[in-house]
């Protein structure tokens, strides 16, 4: 058995295909949509630097798309008290409908991905992924 490197690429591409109609409807580039969904689904991350580091999106793309989201009223920049160089990104109420529709797309993607898998298969998969994540943590700790 071998690990197919194409799997994560295929999964990312399929997700983009499923998001494309919503992005077109909302007139948002995929990267802007991804940033909005990332911030809304992960409230512990609040800065452009978080997006770059966690999502591995190039800094210039983050900057361009954050500017677009701020200009269109989907995000606000908020200065962090005590650190004039740090700015938090806050989703506005205008973003709520996109986020709600985005979560429906994400749910449909997840449901389609797990189609034809019973609960025991999912349990085994998730346990295996948990073990792999622990192994990845150990690899990264050794660096």
Q: Report the pLDDT value the prediction gives residue 1, as an integer from 0 to 100.
A: 58
DSSP 8-state secondary structure symbol assigned to residue 89: E
For Cα atoms 45, 9, 131, give the angle at the middle one, nearest 5 degrees: 65
61: CB partners within 8 A, 6+ apart: 31
State how far the Cα of 143 lies from the Cα of 10, in Å rounded to an integer.
Answer: 29
The predicted-structure confidence for 66-118, as pLDDT tens digits, reads as follows 999 999 999 999 987 877 778 999 999 999 999 999 999 999 999 999 999 99
pLDDT band at 20; cut points 50, 70, 90: very high
State how far the Cα of 98 lies from the Cα of 104, in Å rounded to an integer.
Answer: 10
Average pLDDT on 21-30 reads 95
pLDDT band at 129; cut points 50, 70, 90: very high
Architecture of the CATH domain 6-116:
Orthogonal Bundle (1.10)
Q: Report the pLDDT value the prediction gives residue 79, as an integer from 0 to 100.
A: 87
78: CB partners within 8 A, 6+ apart: 87, 88, 89, 90
* In the chain, where the domains are located: 6-116
Q: Is the pLDDT of residue 51 over 80?
A: yes
Residue ranges in the chain assigned as alpha helix (H): 6-26, 30-41, 48-50, 59-71, 96-113, 119-141
């Amino acid at each position: 058995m071998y690990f197919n490197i194409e799997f994560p690429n295929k999964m990312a591409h399929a997700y983009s295909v499923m998001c494309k109609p919503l992005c077109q409807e909302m007139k948002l580039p995929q990267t802007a949509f991804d940033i909005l969904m990332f911030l809304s689904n992960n409230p512990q991350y609040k800065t452009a630097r978080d997006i770059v580091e966690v999502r591995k999106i190039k800094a210039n793309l983050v900057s361009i798309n954050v500017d677009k989201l701020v200009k269109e009223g989907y995000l606000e920049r908020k200065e962090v008290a005590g650190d004039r160089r740090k700015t938090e990104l806050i989703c506005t109420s205008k973003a709520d409908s996109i986020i709600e529709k985005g979560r429906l797309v994400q749910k449909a993607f997840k449901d389609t991905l797990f189609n034809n898998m019973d609960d025991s298969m999912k349990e085994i998969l998730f346990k295996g992924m948990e073990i792999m994540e622990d192994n990845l943590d150990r690899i990264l700790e050794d660096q």
